[in-house]
Amino acid sequence: MRTFIFATAFLLIGLAAGSIPVSDATAHWADVRGHSIYYEVRGSGHPLLLLHGGGASISASFSRQIDAFAATYKIIAPEQVGQGHSPDISGPLSYTEMMEDTAALLEQLHVTDVDVVGWSDGGILALMLAVKYPHLVHSVVISGVNIAPDGLLDSDRSDQRNTAATSIDSEKIEVADNAPINEKATIDEKLRQLWASAPTITELNVALLQHLQKPVLVLTGDHDVIKLDHTMEIYRALPQAQLSVLPNTGHATFEQRPELVNPMVLNFLAQN
């Protein structure tokens, strides 16, 4: 069993959604599908959609990428319901619903043909978005992605992915001190239920990936919480995929290996 740091705190990043201070001129709010979500826009150029990890925020997931990517691309970075700044809504968390929220935001912004970079849960959403809405997506970069709950290492699946945030800097954990206890329990339980039961076979499967005619860069750490053979199954199913296994790296590839990941991602995007 690997040592995981700040796992519980990471789960709670989105607990007090809406209560995290927003002072950046890049911050925006949108009403999508009957509820409000927070998103940021940075830089200029071809649109690049950043999709954060489960229970996280954009800054916690991509703090070491935002400036580098915004130098070339127009970053659009939403935070999903109940996570980051976005308020929670009633009912369980659903990859399908979060994907539909993301598609609705892009359509509201009149943006198509985006490059998408997704980490962990964000990578799941990136694949689902590309499968269902191919006109919205140009290319995809994913890291730490499973297409079924059994894609997690057995040692980690028992915790239902609550330890997925390896070596996230505690200073980047954004949890409001005054968040009510019942709200914390609610989002915690929603995330656990999501990770234990999804993605479902109707949301993602090998057959769907085999029909995805988009360039995809598949990243994983050699010590990821996703089984390597599961990652290989995803890579082999994708018709236009590239694979990179990062050495001495856990689940948090973007946080741990920006010196490798950033030029690799930018090069992939530039070539496609």
Residue 194 sits at φ, ψ, to 5 deg, of -60, -50
As beta bridge partners, residue 29 has 38
Number of C-beta neighbours around residue 229 at 10 A: 8
Check residue 265 and report its DSSP letter: H
Share of residues in the chain with pLDDT > 70 (%): 79
Band (156; pLDDT cuts 50, 70, 90): low
At 24 the pLDDT is 62
Average of per-residue pLDDT across 245-263: 98
- Angle CA 224–227–228, to nearest 5: 85
CA gap 233, 146 in Å, rounded: 10
Q: How much is the CA Rg of the chain, to the nearest whole Å?
A: 17
* Strand locations in the chain (E): 27-32, 35-42, 46-51, 73-79, 114-119, 137-143, 216-221, 241-246
CA gap 136, 119 in Å, rounded: 19
Per the CB < 8 A criterion, the answer to whether 61 and 119 are in contact is yes
Q: Higher pLDDT residue, 175 or 211?
A: 211
What confidence tens digit (pLDDT) does each residue in 189-237 have?
A: 899 999 999 999 999 999 999 999 999 999 999 999 999 999 999 999 9
At 268 the pLDDT is 98
Domains in the chain (CATH in brackets) are: 7-271 (3.40.50.1820)
